[in-house]
């Protein structure tokens, strides 16, 4: 059998740095979920509405990304505003649903269910992007759905509506992935981030006006931390993808599940039950099958 040397590094790529950037991004992403759970519960005072939590996320993320854009003197060039608006609304909806979900179920469970968004994106790519889906992709999608069923446990006494919120979040974020695909080949990453957060902040500001109440100093600090961590995670994700192939970088993103479980245990004393671990493992395995198949196709 012919063998090939796969250790040759493409100029400009740095797999070790890519892995480090992605792992740090997952640490921050899990941290945003932790902040959302603290704000949505009574740990920092009276619970904030999920609409207000998502508003804080977009507010402080926009301030951070806008500052970078100002320093680098970013020039907006031919933005596809329709796609940006649709992507921002989908992202805002997905984030809000996710923040609502973690108020009811363990962070690790919500995070695992959110990993279904690439599967939903794959299915939606058929009618929206005209992509063809073969048996390997359908098999991975079926496996991921099985994992979600194990996690949600329909009919069991442990079933919670929060799992359905997380599932809805994954579906909406799957739509966002489709829209990101449309934009990523046309515009610069910083331009995409800036416009996305600007539109998202506008939508979030209108929505929060119906439920807004003045947060406590601790809640303001948590909202700022949430937004800054999200902005940092987005930037680190881009840096990771620039330094290695997606097939190498993406699997490291599943460390989010590990960090979410650690945060849940350290802060709330939540210990994952075997069923949760099994469902999460099935979903991650399905996602890795998709990554492997995409690598083979490439």
55-59, 119-123, 219-223: which has the minimum mean pLDDT?
A: 119-123
Residue 4 lies in a domain: no
Q: 1 pLDDT band (50/70/90 cuts)? A: very low
Whether 3 is in a domain gets the answer: no
Who has greater pLDDT, 55 or 163? 55
DSSP per position, the chain: -----TTPPPTT--HHHHHHHHHHHHHHHHHHHHHHHHHHTTTTSSPPPHHHHHHHHHHHHHHHHHHHHHHTT----S--HHHHHHHHHHHHHHHHHHHHHTTTS-HHHHHHHHTTHHHHHHHHHHHHH-----HHHHHHHHHHHHHHHHHH-TTSTT--HHHHHHHHHHHHHHHHHHHHHHHHTTS-HHHHHHHHHHHHHHHHHHHHTTT--PPPHHHHHHHHHHHHHHHHHHHHHHHHHHSS-HHHHGGGGGHHHHHHHHHHHHHH-----HHHHHHHHHHHHHHHHHHHHHHHH-
Residue 2 resides in a domain: no
Question: What's the whole-number average pLDDT of the chain?
Answer: 83
Give domain status of residue 5, yes or no: no
Q: Is residue 120 part of a domain?
A: yes
In a domain, 279, yes or no: yes
Residue 248 lies in a domain: yes
pLDDT at 110: 85
Residue 273 pLDDT > 50: yes
Is residue 8 included in any domain, yes or no? no
How many separate domains does the chain show? 1
Residue 5 pLDDT > 50: no
- Domain containing 259 equals 15-297
């Amino acid at each position: 059998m012919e063998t090939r040397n796969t250790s040759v590094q493409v100029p400009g790529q740095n797999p070790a740095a890519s892995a480090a950037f992605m792992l740090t991004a997952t640490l921050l992403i899990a941290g945003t979920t932790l902040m959302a759970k603290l704000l949505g519960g009574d740990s920092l005072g009276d619970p904030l509405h999920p609409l207000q939590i998502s508003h804080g996320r977009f507010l402080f993320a926009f301030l951070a990304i806008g500052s970078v854009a100002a320093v680098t003197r970013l020039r907006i060039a031919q933005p596809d505003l329709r796609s940006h608006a649709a992507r921002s609304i989908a992202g805002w909806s997905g984030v809000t649903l996710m923040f609502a979900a973690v108020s009811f179920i363990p962070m690790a469970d919500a995070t695992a269910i959110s990993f279904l968004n690439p599967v939903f994106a794959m299915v939606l790519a058929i009618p929206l992007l005209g992509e063809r889906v073969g048996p390997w992709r359908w098999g991975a999608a079926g496996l991921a759905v099985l994992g979600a069923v194990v996690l949600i446990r329909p009919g069991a006494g442990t079933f919670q509506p929060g799992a359905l919120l997380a599932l809805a979040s994954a579906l909406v974020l799957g739509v966002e992935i489709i829209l990101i695909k449309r934009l990523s080949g046309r515009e610069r990453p910083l331009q995409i981030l800036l416009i996305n957060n600007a539109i998202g902040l506008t939508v979030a500001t209108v929505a929060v006006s119906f439920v807004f109440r003045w947060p406590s100093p601790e809640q303001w600090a948590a909202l700022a931390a949430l937004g800054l961590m999200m902005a940092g995670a987005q930037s680190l994700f881009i840096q990771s993808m620039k330094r290695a192939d997606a097939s190498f970088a993406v699997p490291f993103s599943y460390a989010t599940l590990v960090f979410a479980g650690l945060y849940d245990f350290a802060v709330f004393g939540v210990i994952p039950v075997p069923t949760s671990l099994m469902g999460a493992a099935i979903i991650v395995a399905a996602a890795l099958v998709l990554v492997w198949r995409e690598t083979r196709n490439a």
